[in-house]
A and B are shown apart, each in its own frame.
Chain A
Amino acid sequence: MVEFDHVSRWYRKVVAVSEVTLSLGPGVTALLGPNGAGKSTVLRLLCGLTAPSQGTVTIWGHDPRRVPAAMRFIGIVPQHEGVFPNMGPLRFVELAGVLHGLDDPRAAAIASLESVEIDPGDKRSVETYSKGMKQRVKIAQALVNGPAIVVADEPLNGLDPRQRRSLIETFAKLGEQGRCVVISSHVLDEVERFGSRVLVMAQGRLAAEGDFHAIRALMDDRPHLLRLRCDRPREMAARLLAGGTVSGATLVGEDRIEIQTLDLPAFTRAVAPAARAVDALVSEVRPLDDDLESVFRYLVGAPGTGGSV
């Protein structure tokens, strides 16, 4: 659906995006990265809101900036809160339907607003809405024409937990319907629930791409951190270190050890024999860094960058 071919974008001397090559298809893709990593620029390039300084962006082979008809396929949820003054939600979403050339933009607007739990009959201006309600109206206008590509820049901002859950389900459903859904977010624990495909941006570059767990598994040069709970932690730690599958072990309580290992499968195979050998009762083995945040910290945490999220 969407192809980036060696795309770079710079603003005078500042490089926002550098040599990004990727392709996006059906399903949900999460775009991750710290502030200034180039996530928003990638989304803007995708929609044609800004032109690449180098390289090409195509949607089904068309340059979105040269072919306005390509906009028919795109629904965008911008990050900013700007909405038209003195305009109610129905009129706001209906306008999007009219500009998309829908036969019955009002009916489509009502359906779209109802899908995000906004009352189409509300006469108040969207300007006066809370951040969360504005966000939902913005999502409704993006979905009004049933676009094949949905681009959402930080769509979960300002939403309460129930709304977030509902929205994650909405995006997941869109992905299951075969739409290309691209979402940028820094809410890592929720991004993990969007879907398995992740693009990690760091310093304008695509730092990693693919399934979240696959990315994590590829990082064999970084120790995995696990917590092991048992009744004889010292003996257990000594046995595991002696076995060579563990590169570090730290006692963190009377019954807990934090284990560092470079070879996760070998470690999991070694736990049971070690417990048997020292007569220990293991009650828990739990990964401490198998989440997006740790993956992300590792990928962007090159020396000198600070690696903060």
Chain B
Amino acid sequence: MRVLLALYGTILRAVDTRARRYGFVALGALGVLVAWSVSRSFFLIDPVADATTLLDVFNLTFLAPVAALVFGTAALGDPTDDNTLVYLWLRPVARWKLALAAIAAAVTFVLPYSVIPATIEAAIVADGPVVRAAAVSSAAAGVAYSAVFVLLGLVSRRSLVWGIGYLLIFESFIARGGKSLGALSIHAHAASILARTAEVKLRLGYFTSPTALVSLTAITLIAASVTTRRLGRADVP
């Protein structure tokens, strides 16, 4: 446990930069501001539907994945780029501990930067189950995206470019092509949790909440497992 905490603390401090911190606080504040504007809008007829649309478009499509992209790719990507990975890797430590510490460090930042604004936005526009839906869906999306992007940060030196491409092309476009494609999409599963918990309809809400939660857990575990495997085979700079 001491080793795991040491790895976690080291990666946590390494990815925590002032620019990232201020950037995501500003983006969260922007979402809250938009929610406040929506709640004051003359055209607000169905608060629950409008809140879920806002959460789907801003939080699940943009804020949670981008936060996970930035912190997830940095967790192992930054140590690779600045040549400090060797100080973590060349130790008698099981690789899964390093993978787990990296994902946990990314999640530590992604959750507050995505869940808190989502919950506040939902509470401003509507109340009831949509607030819980906002928290659960953005948390589940944040964890799954973080695990995937930690892996991406390890395998690619251009992880941000690849990650943006993945979000724009697959998550925002291809995943809308039907349920079978949506089964591979983190956004579709998170949107399903949001829609089912808030009891509204969303275009990507293909799945039941338990199915979506199990799928996101599976994606997280697969990404963590592949990261562990890659750490064992990686060329460490």
Contact = CB atoms under 8 A, between A and B. Distances in A.
Interface of A: 47-51, 65-66, 68-72, 74, 76, 78, 80-87, 92, 95-96, 98-101, 141
Given A50-B235, A51-B233, A100 B91 contact: yes
B10 A84 contact: yes
Contacts of B2: 98
Contacts of A68: 91-95
B233 A99 contact: no
29 contacts: A48-B90, A49-B86, A49-B90, A49-B235, A49-B237, A51-B235, A65-B232, A68-B91, A68-B92, A71-B90, A71-B92, A71-B93, A80-B83, A82-B83, A83-B84, A84-B13, A84-B14, A85-B13, A86-B13, A87-B10, A96-B87, A98-B2, A98-B3, A99-B3, A99-B6, A99-B7, A99-B88, A99-B92, A100-B92
A141 B83 CA distance: 15
A72 B92 contact: yes
Nearest to A96: B87
Interface string B212-237: 00000000000000000000110111
Interface string B84-107: 101111111111000000000000
Given A78-B83, A141-B87, A101 B14 contact: no
What is the interface of chain A mostly: helix, strand, loop, or mixed? Answer: loop
Nearest to A92: B87
Contacts, number: 71
Contacts of A66: 232
Interface residues of B, number: 25
Interface in B125-175: none
Nearest to A98: B6
A92 B9 CA distance: 12
A200 B233 CA distance: 29
A17 B57 CA distance: 52
Contacts of B94: 68
Contacts of B235: 49-51
A2 B217 CA distance: 43
Contact of A49 (B13, B93, B236): B236
A225 B214 CA distance: 77
Contacts of B233: 51, 65
Contacts of B90: 47-49, 71, 74, 76
Contacts of B237: 49, 80
Contact of A96 (B82, B91, B95, B232): B91
Given A72-B92, A76-B86, A99-B91, 14 more contacts: A49-B86, A49-B89, A49-B237, A66-B232, A68-B91, A68-B95, A71-B91, A78-B83, A82-B83, A83-B84, A86-B13, A99-B6, A99-B93, A141-B87
Nearest to B82: A82
Contact of A78 (B3, B6, B86, B93): B86
B102 to A, nearest CB: 14
A154 to B, nearest CB: 14
B234 to A, nearest CB: 9
B85 to A, nearest CB: 9
Contact of A101 (B3, B87, B89, B232): B3
Ranked 8 nearest A-B pairs via Cβ? A82-B83, A99-B91, A72-B92, A80-B83, A98-B6, A82-B82, A49-B236, A71-B92
